Structure 1
Amino acid sequence: MIKWMLAVLVFCVFSVPAHAELERTLWAWDTQTPQQGNFSVSVGGGYENYNYLKVDGRTVQSTAALSYGIRDNWSAGLEVSYQYWWEKGYGEKYSEKGLGDSALVTTYRFINDRQSSVEFAVRGSLNVPTGDDDRYLGSGKWEPKLEFITASSLGPVVLVTNLGGTYIIDADDQEEHVVLNGDIECVVPLTSWLSANAVVSGWTSRWEESADDHYLQLGGGVRVAPTAQTFIAASLYHLVASDFYDDDWYVMLNLGAEF
């Protein structure tokens, strides 16, 4: 099991579509897109450890993402995922593995000056329920999502913010139709090929009349760019405000390239 999880971390992605030369973030979506006519691909994965209601759980998720630069400031892509989860509690053990949900994604940057100190972009995505929700491998719902992205350069430091919402089509009776999310990520270049990043992110409750599943998460990590067309990123995240989870932490490794 451990060898399998390590293999996923090395070869698969918790997807971040990559413009290797300019993609700067670990968790939040960046304003950058592949250059016109170029493809970007990212592969990598994440491992999550969590506890709730006397239940111990583990999740391994991998995603592969492919993006194409329609213009220098406009891209479209596809993301596919694979999941494995395991839980133990109350004398029982459960596990499932298989194809997770997929997504169709497009990003449009309104300011097309790559030297600009302030950038603004919109990212739209559609969750496609390819994962089996009866086995808890997917949501079972079509979920369009819209996010507004800004990136501000403060000297060498870059501050990236995301603010968006997901609309849940055919939501269940006790399920909210809209879930909001927000992210702030600070990118601090240490050298021409190495940066250190810090992240604060949160999202609102998905279930009506429940405050248990809203979250605030802190994280950080490093991003290494061996060449102008490739990158490797490693990061760690921890939930600091959740009434549902007693403990939750998440490790990610991302690999990306543009060609």
Structure 2
Amino acid sequence: MSFLSLSHCSRLLAGAGLSLLAGAAMAAHPLITDDTGTQGKGHSQFELSSDHDRTRTDAGIERVQSSSAGFAYGVHDDVDLGISLPHTSYRVPGEARQQGVGDVTLQAKWRFHSGERWSLALKPVLTLPSGNHDKGLGNGRATTALHLLAQYEAEPLTWLVNVGGTHNDNRDGQRKGLWSASTALLYAPHADWTLALDVGANRNADREGPRTQSYALLGGIYHLNKDVDLDLGYRRSLQSGPVTHTVGAGLTVRW
């Protein structure tokens, strides 16, 4: 793959919102904004999700399918450790389809404050260069991030706020110092359902694209029982340039 094609692939993946997803690794799908909840000591969670992005450009329609399997374990009532393994398949007009395992993400979540309504948590994230950089499936170098999570509860509403920074080390000449900010409002009209509105923005890693990326997301989570959730979401990019539409679905199991 030529350098020009590889650079275009990097822009495609960033434009499709994958940089936003990486910054919010293992948030409750389909949300980008994470909550402060932890599993509890000795408890585990497995999450399987799939997102399909579609972007119409002058060159044609670009499609990205990204799937992820994530596992989190509670080492303390207020501390989780987690790992996420992504798989990406994409096609640039005029190029052969590329697919394979992406960069593995390791993370922790520490809820350091838990009040009657407010709770706060820190989430450090380490992304390992396990994806094939030559195929545009990985960053080529490890990246680190730190996010501050806030949550306010007033049933049936929950308000989430995230802010964070990322050191985006890479081999493609992308920006290294990145920021992200997002907020989500969750509404539970019934014990079996949660509806969500999620909006956010982040500094674009691609120097040739818009300086800031942004999105809006609508989603719903069906609680099959206290340990199993099914979800569906729709996300749309809001920054200038070609619009990316994303439809995603997921399954979460706790034990």
TM-score normalized by the length of structure 2: 0.85
Question: Aligned partners of 2:194, 2:215: CA distance in 1, in Å?
Answer: 20
Q: Offset at 1:253?
A: 0.8
Following superposition, the deviation at residue 24 of structure 1 comes to 8.9
CA 1:201 to 1:137, structure 2 compared with 1: closer, same or farther past 3 Å?
Answer: same
Distance of aligned partners of 1:93 and 1:176 in 2 relative to their CA distance in 1, 3 Å threshold: closer
Q: Is the 8 A contact 1:224 1:232 kept in 2?
A: yes
User: Counterpart of 1:203 in structure 2: which amino acid?
Assistant: N
Residues 73 and 112 of structure 1 are in contact (CA less than 8 Å); yes or no, is this contact kept in structure 2? no
Amino acid at match of 2:160: V
Deviation at 1:155, TM superposition (A): 4.2
> Which residue matches 1:219?
217
- Please name the residue that 2:169 is paired with: 169
Superposed CA offset, 1:151-195 (max 9, x none): 0123421110110011023565x4222111111110011101101
Tell me the equivalent position of 1:27: 32
CA 1:217–1:145 in 2, change beyond 3 Å: closer, same or farther?
same
Task: From the superposition, tell whether residues 101 and 183 of structure 1 become closer, same or farther in structure 2 (CA, over 3 Å).
Answer: same
SS in 1 for 2:205: coil
Please name the residue that 1:147 is paired with: 147
Contact 1:38–1:68, Cα closer than 8 Å, also in 2: yes
Identical-residue share of aligned pairs (%)? 17
Matched residue, 1:127: 127
The Cα of 1:140 is off from its aligned counterpart by 1.4
Report the count of equivalent residues: 234
Residue equivalent to 2:105: 103
Give distance in 2, aligned partners of 1:70 and 1:93: 45
Task: Work out the CA distance in 1 between the residues paired with 2:25 and 2:166.
Answer: 18
User: Residue 235 of structure 1 corresponds to which residue in structure 2?
Assistant: 233
Give the CA deviation at 1:112: 4.1
- SS of the aligned residue for 2:190 comes to coil
Counterpart contact for 1:17–1:41, Cα < 8 Å: no
1:61 maps to which residue?
66
Distance 1:103 1:252 in 2: 20
- Which segments of 5 or more consecutive residues in structure 2 lack a partner in the other structure? 1-21
The alpha-carbon distance between structure 1 residues 181 and 171, as it changes in their structure 2 partners (threshold 3 A), is: farther
TM-score computed with the length of structure 1 as normaliser: 0.83
Q: Distance in 1 between matches of 2:25 and 2:243?
A: 25
CA distance in 2, matches of 1:97, 1:206: 21
Distance change in 2, residues 1:205/1:44 (3 Å): closer
Quote the RMSD (CA, aligned, Å): 2.2
**Residues 85/171 of structure 1: CA separation in 2 closer, same or farther (3 Å cut):** closer
Which residue does 2:194 correspond to in 1?
195
Secondary structure of 1:134 counterpart:
helix
The answer for unaligned runs of 5 or more in structure 1 is: 1-13
Query: Residue 217 and residue 156 in structure 1: after superposition, are their counterparts in 2 closer, same or farther (change >3 A)?
Result: same
- Residue of structure 2 aligned with 1:247, choices 230, 243, 246: 243
Cα distance in 1 between the residues matched to 2:29 and 2:67: 20
